[in-house]
């Protein structure tokens, strides 16, 4: 049974339609990557799933809930988390405070969860009391993922987690993504530089011009010559 | 007396005035960073608090609640209770104004919110004038003797020590709240990035209510303290201070409550010390000139963040 089902969704900004009848599915504990050129509607799809944009047609289901017209704070309570591409941390707060904010709606003691997240991202423990605004891009990305994990979500949406990172740092982030996935969290990644991401994904979708183009296992998409030439830079 | 010999005394006046401006400024700064607009009604929240305290104090006196003075201070139990209740009632009134007006306009953007705050300012001031007239009202007619500290070359009244001490206590409380409580951290998070706060699951509506509670509570305190210092209040008291408050907030870095404290203090002291050299009538101009210079030289303010 699928965890998230996006069923023929049409969405966009105001009168500007960006996505046309897009459908995707993610099963529990899967890693799924959506690739596609700039302007394909990848970020729009994420924002629509997370309730930041309202679809004009189609349905979105998460676990047992229809979430098509839910607001982000309702969706977060159902066990989905979202890491935007930019401005995904609270810069004037410390690492620990960022994580605490991720647990805002928890009323129980989340000290153990913070320890688990420190185990996934050891650098965060060292920087616990540092303001995030003064940290590097890679560290910020880890803070953002850590914050999103605080509520023990079943699914995390990552919008271009490796964007603006040096290749070796991107490598570290992708390793961490796999480690997060191994704790049982399904992950939906949107990537422009997609080879790395597809390589670690169970499945992938190719989005272009706001429509579904291809979908297959990550491996097969990487092996597909046409996709390689069109979307993966040859 | 020579100009130089007057400076220590003027510094004292500046610190007193700066304490009041700082308390007002914290609220302006929080509203700006969390709700995203310059609240021109903030001065009138101060006046509202001062008049609610007056109304309650008058009521208590009528009911025979004692107001035997606390030691050397000019007020006692009755006024203190009126003071504390006025803080709470001002906060409630401001939350109601938010529910009735600001909340409905939240999506319309900062300009609309700012314009509507000017409407709230005019409305509140006129309500106060309607009930209490534009004439000054007195908390007390008592004349308090200043204590002389010849070694420092200053004189200070017990009430003025109370004003400075109250400001210090409140600043420490606000700091601790922002730094150590969950709600305080959430307020800083919303100020950092409201959209991210929402997708994180932070209840932004509750954060906004707390922001108003703190802003309005400190505004009421500042209004009442200015009444204690000047011995009288008018419906215009906050409006008249608003330029100096904004100057302090801009000087310290708008959106940063610590900047508002620093800026309020600098403006208060500059205004008072300037009277040693130029006419008292230019006090508001001093604040204005400092604000303009700051905007030209470093628009982000002394403690402001980039962008």
Cβ density class B35-59: b for 16+ within 10 Å, e for less: bbbbbbbbbbbbbbbbbbbbbbbee
A77·B201 Cβ contact <8 A: yes
Domains along chain B with CATH numbers? 3-297 (1.10.3470)
* Cβ atoms of B257 and B187 closer than 8 Å: no
Select the more confidently predicted residue: A164 or B237.
B237
What is the reported pLDDT for B307? Answer: 42
Q: Which of A14, A51, A70, A73 to mutate to test the interface with B (most CBs of B within 10 A)?
A: A73
Assigned fold of A2-84+150-231? Rossmann fold (3.40.50)
Q: What is the dihedral of CA B219, B223, B225, B231, to 10 degrees?
A: 180
- Please tell me chain B's helix, strand, coil percentages from 3-state DSSP, rounded to the nearest 5: 75, 5, 20
**pLDDT tens digits for A111-132?**
999 999 999 999 999 999 999 9
Q: Which of A31-35, A61-65, B69-73 has the lowest mean pLDDT?
A: B69-73
Which candidate from B186, B189, B199 shows the least CB-CB separation from A72? B199
> Which residues sit opposite A18 in a β-bridge?
none
Residue B103: phi and psi, rounded to 5, are -60, -40
| Distance between CA atoms of residues A213 and A232, nearest Å | 14
Residues in chain A closer than 8 A to B193 (CB atoms):
87, 90-91
Q: With bands split at pLDDT 50, 70 and 90, how would you rate the model's confidence at A6?
A: very high
A102·B200 Cβ contact <8 A: yes
What is the reported pLDDT for A230? Answer: 76
**Please, what is the average pLDDT of chain A?**
91
Residue B97: phi and psi, rounded to 5, are -60, -40
What is the reported pLDDT for B126? Answer: 97
| Distance between CA atoms of residues B226 and B219, nearest Å | 11
What is the reported pLDDT for B270? Answer: 95
Residues in chain B closer than 8 A to A77 (CB atoms):
201
What is the reported pLDDT for A196? Answer: 84
Q: Which of A92, A96, A152 to mutate to test the interface with B (most CBs of B within 10 A)?
A: A92
B196·A87 Cβ contact <8 A: yes
What pTM, to 2 d.p., does this model score?
Answer: 0.90
User: Can you tell me the ipTM of this complex?
Assistant: 0.89
| Distance between CA atoms of residues A39 and A134, nearest Å | 31
Percentage of chain A lying above the pLDDT 90 cut = 71
Residues in chain A closer than 8 A to B207 (CB atoms):
none
Q: Which of B34, B107, B186, B200 to mutate to test the interface with A (most CBs of A within 10 A)?
A: B200
Percentage of chain A lying above the pLDDT 70 cut = 98
Average pLDDT over residues A140-157: 95
Average pLDDT over residues A145-159: 96
Q: Rg of chain B over CA atoms, in angstroms?
A: 19
Average pLDDT over residues A24-45: 91
* Cβ atoms of B45 and B127 closer than 8 Å: no
Q: Rg of chain A over CA atoms, in angstroms?
A: 17
Q: What is the DSSP string of chain A?
A: -EEEEEEEEEEEETTEEEEEEEEEEEETT-EEEEE--TTSSHHHHHHHHTTSS--SEEEEEETTEE-TT--HHHHHHHTEEEE-SSS-S-TTSBHHHHHHHHTTT--S--HHHHHHHHHH-HHHHHTTTSBGGGS-HHHHHHHHHHHHHTT--SEEEEESTTTT--HHHHHHHHHHHHHHHHTT-EEEEEESS-HHHHHH-SEEEEEETTEEEEEEEHHHHHH-HHHHHHHS--
Residues in chain A closer than 8 A to B305 (CB atoms):
92
Average pLDDT over residues A83-107: 94
Residue A25: phi and psi, rounded to 5, are -140, 145
Select the more confidently predicted residue: A228 or B111.
B111
Question: With an 8 Å Cβ cutoff, is B194 touching chain A?
Answer: no
What is the reported pLDDT for A210? Answer: 86
Residues in chain A closer than 8 A to B185 (CB atoms):
93, 97, 100-101
The series of mean pLDDT values per 10 residues for chain B, 307 residues long, is 83 96 97 95 98 96 89 91 97 97 92 96 97 93 85 91 97 96 96 93 94 98 96 94 95 91 96 92 90 90 71
What is the reported pLDDT for B140? Answer: 85
Report whether pLDDT(A24) > 60.
yes
Q: Where in chain A are the domains? A: 2-84+150-231
> Which residues sit opposite A94 in a β-bridge?
A131
* Cβ atoms of B243 and B267 closer than 8 Å: no
Question: With an 8 Å Cβ cutoff, is B192 touching chain A?
Answer: yes
Q: At a CB cut-off of 8 Å and minimum separation 6, what does A91 contact?
A: A131, A132, A133, B192, B193
Report whether pLDDT(A234) > 60.
no
């Amino acid at each position: 049974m699928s965890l998230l089902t996006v069923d023929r969704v049409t969405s966009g900004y105001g009168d500007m339609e960006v996505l046309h009848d897009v459908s995707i599915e993610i099963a529990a504990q899967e890693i799924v990557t959506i690739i596609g050129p700039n302007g394909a509607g990848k970020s729009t799809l994420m924002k629509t799933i997370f309730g930041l944009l309202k679809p004009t047609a189609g349905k979105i289901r998460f676990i047992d809930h229809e979430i098509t017209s839910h607001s982000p704070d309702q969706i977060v309570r159902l066990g989905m988390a979202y890491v935007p591409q930019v401005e995904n941390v609270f810069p004037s707060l410390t690492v620990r405070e960022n994580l605490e904010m991720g647990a805002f709606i928890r009323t129980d003691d989340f000290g153990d969860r913070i320890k688990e997240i420190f185990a996934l991202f050891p650098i965060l423990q060292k920087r616990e009391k540092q303001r995030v605004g003064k940290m590097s891009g890679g560290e910020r990305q880890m803070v953002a993922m850590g914050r999103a994990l605080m509520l023990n979500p079943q699914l995390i949406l990552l919008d271009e987690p490796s964007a603006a990172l040096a290749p070796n740092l991107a490598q570290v982030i992708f390793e961490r993504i796999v480690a997060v996935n191994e704790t049982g969290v399904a992950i939906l990644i949107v990537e422009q530089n997609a080879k790395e991401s597809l390589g670690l994904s169970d499945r992938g979708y190719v989005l272009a011009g706001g429509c579904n183009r291809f979908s297959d296992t990550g491996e097969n998409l990487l092996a597909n010559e046409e996709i390689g030439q069109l979307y993966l830079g040859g | 007396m020579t100009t130089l010999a007057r400076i220590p005394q003027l510094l004292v006046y500046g610190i007193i005035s700066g304490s009041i401006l700082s308390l007002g400024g914290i609220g302006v700064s929080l509203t700006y960073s969390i709700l995203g607009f310059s609240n021109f009604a903030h001065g009138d929240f101060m006046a509202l608090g001062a008049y609610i305290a007056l109304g309650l104090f008058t009521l208590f006196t009528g009911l025979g609640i004692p107001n035997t003075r606390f030691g050397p201070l000019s007020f006692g139990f009755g006024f203190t209770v009126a003071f504390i209740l006025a803080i709470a009632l001002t906060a409630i009134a401001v939350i109601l104004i938010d529910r009735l007006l600001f909340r409905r306009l939240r999506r319309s953007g900062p300009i609309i919110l700012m314009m509507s705050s000017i409407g709230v300012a005019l409305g509140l001031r006129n309500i106060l004038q309607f009930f209490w007239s534009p004439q000054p009202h007195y908390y007390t007619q008592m004349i308090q003797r200043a204590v002389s500290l010849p070694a420092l070359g200053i004189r200070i009244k017990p009430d003025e020590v109370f004003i400075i001490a109250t400001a210090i206590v409140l600043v420490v409380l606000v700091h601790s709240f922002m730094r150590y409580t969950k709600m305080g951290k959430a307020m800083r998070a919303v100020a950092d990035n409201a959209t991210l706060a929402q997708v994180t699951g932070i209840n932004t509506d509750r954060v906004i209510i707390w922001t108003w509670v703190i802003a309005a509570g400190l505004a009421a305190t500042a209004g009442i303290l200015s009444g204690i210092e000047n011995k009288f209040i008018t419906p215009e008291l906050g409006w008249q201070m608003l330029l100096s408050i904004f100057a302090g907030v801009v000087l310290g870095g708008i959106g940063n409550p610590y900047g508002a404290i620093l800026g309020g203090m600098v403006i208060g002291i500059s205004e008072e010390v300037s009277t040693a050299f130029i006419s008292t009538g230019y006090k508001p101009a001093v604040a204005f000139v400092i604000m303009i210079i700051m905007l030209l030289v470093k628009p982000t303010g002394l403690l402001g963040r980039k962008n």
